[in-house]
Amino acid sequence: MITERSNYDELILYWESTLRANRMLLEPSMIT
């Protein structure tokens, strides 16, 4: 259970980081 929970948390952190990176890439194009 503990390992599954940690893997799940790692997935969330991974998706949050990717979404944040994508937003940083998209925002400048939207501003221009």
**Can you give the pLDDT at residue 6?**
86
pLDDT at 26: 81
**What distance separates the 2 farthest-apart alpha carbons in the chain?**
47
Residue pointed to by tokens 């998706």 = 15
pLDDT of residue 23: 86
Q: What per-residue confidence (pLDDT) applies to 31?
A: 62
Q: What is the mean pLDDT of each run of 10 residues along the chain (32 residues)?
A: 80 94 80 60
Q: What's the predicted TM-score (pTM) here?
A: 0.52
In this predicted structure, what is the pLDDT of residue 15? 94
| Token reading at 6 | 């940690």
Report angle CA 12, 25, 8 to the nearest 5 degrees: 5
